[in-house]
Structure 1
């Protein structure tokens, strides 16, 4: 009669019986050694630290190493690797490896064993997070800061939720190449050359390929250029495309739209919603604020509000957010609403940690820009952050912004994958209007000056330029588009002569 396998055990910590199934671990290891193809199925999901028994984790690691080198992993080939392992000696030496393969029926349930081992590891991680929360809450020897403890707990919970994501962490070149091919296929199938999230603006999409995941994008400009308007246009277009794609039966992963989180540190949520509805209903926002609407305009506005009630656009208008708090809220929105893009309006209104603040504003902005880039990589979404420009622009004859105009820190330029500037010649041209309007009493020179100004006004009216000053994935250049001042709405510019 066969002797039962002496499965190793681990003492429960602090009297707690931690979630575990050592028998399932042993059965999975046995199946992997009987048929190495099983290892190929589970290596993407299970890591050595997922095993409750440390010895099992070491055996799994060596099996993975041998299989990865295209060598056979059996009790015989593994035996020399564990000849001096103390835990193995307690179980009778390397003969334990042969005992693990004593049940060929384990091959049938190998995948189920792997799933159970992973789930139990997740539960143990949750127990660890919970223990840390309790200890932190009970420890009053340090400065009491519940908000910081909540942020840390949410970060750890998010890490537990994401640790099984096969796309996180170290990737082999094969896997990275597969992801690149999928991205190229998505761009090809989109019909518009878009590999990331659509901006809803064809010419901008053509120049950037859409907003790619894990990218930090900076959208900068002087006041009055339309930064917030462009950001709200992009947010609406991405969220609307996602909603339309789902309605059309297109799978989430194939959509070039995305649910959007908009952190508005300058405007309230209702002001932002009013602006978006004004843009889409094409009703002048000033009329909405003053109530001077015709019945037809109100109907258009109400219809737009009804059409967009399901729009996956989430606005957080909490003022004075720290970069840590913003990242915590973004993680929560990712978990709850599967957001695919984050927009921050605007970067200089965020605050850094107390330490960074004490080191000066430049260091604080550096911390914020690094935090936003980390957030983009952590959530695997594009982060679009609006930024102010320094007043140096106004002192130049040519008002077009440059990278050196980014306010307060060169780290913004360094951390960003793409830097976009919004520039409207019309804004500055309005200030050059002649004081003398032709009325029959003007001189010939005054009439000529007015006619030249008017001709130029016709050229620049309702036009804007988005300058791509930096782009890691492509070329720099300028994208010309239409800007309707009445509704603060950006759209594609009609071709020349249209």
Structure 2
């Protein structure tokens, strides 16, 4: 691959393109300022690195300056000799290191322009790396046996180019915080007022929510109910189905719309139900009820998960993603434990939602006794912004959510064993929010009968 990549890079048209995105004069002006202004280097930290310089000589000089700063030594004209000695090999072609560095110092840019210089160098470096990523994609498409492997590498290259924002001063953080207060970020209600209340109004971009439960506890039904509410509210989102398929999920949703049981849509379907289902499907787009992007991915790997989430954001313009469920993400690298693999999945999700500006709701499996495994504790406790366990109780088909962790709201339970917040009801089935209904006579009578 290296030889093919170099051949492409040496094509005259590509070389000219790369050269257009290099500015040696700006690099020289910045280095001159760093060599003559004692405090200038600190203004570049977090904005650029040595690898951002197009000229390898300039990269070596910047690296040498950084090394001296890390040793607590002031960078000024008295260190020109030390820097020249450090970079002597790469400076020989310029007739001697001291001569070239003295020329840089003599042409130093203005101290007030150091940040502008650094930002320009960084932006040009990103453009050159994007061109290189495109060249690598060409080589991979031609040489890689499995196209999935090529796509995974290309996505990784693209992710690495996303600017994380660099360092920010306290004043910059405070200004951004106040601006956020003036125009708060959008919140996406789940359709369950009891959950929304505990989560500060619903789901926010940049946050990861996790609901864990035993097998058959109703995790998918709850996620389906949230998806149903988002769809009706016009919120475009993706549903990554690693267990239950898209058609099975939609059978529950359509049954809820038609006021029937999902089993009525399976096997020999009554003519009346079939006609109503067909009418509903035909008018879903017209009624603006086409806001879910389904991805059937049983046995889906980490690479596939990464691909689909990026596609949900950039191709389908989704506000968030539902992942059903965490422990089914495969693709564990050789020599990696299951715990480490799933922890990396959780860490990647937590970082990605912040970078992409989306939310993710991820379901997870508990053991049969309702306890979290070591995987859950190390993976989700550390990475989820909200972590809740879906619990059953003695009241038939009722559930409540035990709060386990929260980064931005008080960690509270949603309902309790004696007063559950959710009940699985028909049509559908779907979960109904009991917590939002209050202690009306009907609910209290049902609870009394169950306890009796």
TM range (shorter): 0.5 to 0.7
Secondary structure of the residue that 2:350 maps to in structure 1? Answer: helix
Alpha-carbon distance in 1 for matches of 2:317, 2:35: 39
**2:125 match:** 121
Alpha-carbon displacement from aligned partner over 1:425-446 (angstroms, at most 9, x marks no partner): 4xx655xxxxxxxxxxxxxxxx
Alpha-carbon distance in 1 for matches of 2:150, 2:274: 52
**2:159 match:** 158
Q: Is the 8 A contact 2:342 2:375 kept in 1?
A: no
Q: 2:347 aligns with which of 359, 373, 380?
A: 373
Give yes or no for the alignment of 1:206 onto 2:197: yes
Instruction: For 1:443-454, list aligned pairs within 5 A.
Output: none
Secondary structure of the residue that 2:348 maps to in structure 1? Answer: helix
Instruction: For 1:79-478, list aligned pairs within 5 A.
Output: 79=80, 82-84=83-85, 85-86=87-88, 87-88=90-91, 91=94, 92-94=96-98, 96-97=100-101, 99-100=103-104, 117-130=121-134, 132=136, 144-160=145-161, 162=162, 164-166=163-165, 171=167, 174=170, 178=174, 181=177, 198-209=189-200, 210-211=202-203, 213=206, 215=208, 217-223=210-216, 225-237=217-229, 243=235, 259-276=236-253, 279=256, 281=257, 283-284=259-260, 286=262, 290=269, 292-293=272-273, 305-309=285-289, 311=291, 313-337=292-316, 339-353=318-332, 355=334, 363-364=337-338, 367-380=341-354, 381-392=358-369, 401=370, 403=371, 406=372, 409-417=373-381, 418-425=386-393, 429=395, 463-471=398-406, 474-478=410-414
TM-score, normalised to structure 2, is 0.68
Secondary structure of the residue that 2:310 maps to in structure 1? Answer: helix
Flag structure 2 segments of 5+ consecutive residues without an equivalent: 442-452
**1:496 match:** 439
Alpha-carbon distance in 1 for matches of 2:229, 2:318: 14
Q: State the 1:51 CA deviation.
A: 0.8
Q: State the aligned residue count.
A: 404
**How has the CA–CA distance of structure 1 residues 137 and 295 changed in structure 2, closer, same or farther, with 3 Å as cutoff?**
closer
Q: State the 1:416 CA deviation.
A: 0.6
Flag structure 1 segments of 5+ consecutive residues without an equivalent: 1-11, 244-258, 393-400, 431-460
**How has the CA–CA distance of structure 1 residues 145 and 101 changed in structure 2, closer, same or farther, with 3 Å as cutoff?**
same
Secondary structure of the residue that 2:243 maps to in structure 1? Answer: coil
Alpha-carbon distance in 1 for matches of 2:245, 2:80: 66
Secondary structure of the residue that 1:355 maps to in structure 2? Answer: coil
Alpha-carbon distance in 2 for matches of 1:390, 1:296: 40
Alpha-carbon displacement from aligned partner over 1:208-234 (angstroms, at most 9, x marks no partner): 4455635462432341x4311211233
**How has the CA–CA distance of structure 1 residues 353 and 108 changed in structure 2, closer, same or farther, with 3 Å as cutoff?**
closer
**How has the CA–CA distance of structure 1 residues 368 and 177 changed in structure 2, closer, same or farther, with 3 Å as cutoff?**
same
Q: State the 1:352 CA deviation.
A: 3.4
**How has the CA–CA distance of structure 1 residues 109 and 370 changed in structure 2, closer, same or farther, with 3 Å as cutoff?**
closer
Q: Is the 8 A contact 1:466 1:478 kept in 2?
A: yes
Q: Is the 8 A contact 2:208 2:349 kept in 1?
A: no
Alpha-carbon distance in 2 for matches of 1:152, 1:295: 47
| Superposition RMSD in Å | 4.9
Secondary structure of the residue that 2:315 maps to in structure 1? Answer: helix
TM-score, normalised to structure 1, is 0.62
Alpha-carbon displacement from aligned partner over 1:36-55 (angstroms, at most 9, x marks no partner): 99988876543331111233
Alpha-carbon distance in 2 for matches of 1:111, 1:354: 41
Alpha-carbon distance in 2 for matches of 1:337, 1:36: 49
Secondary structure of the residue that 1:23 maps to in structure 2? Answer: helix
Alpha-carbon displacement from aligned partner over 1:241-280 (angstroms, at most 9, x marks no partner): 675xxxxxxxxxxxxxxx533211233334434544555x
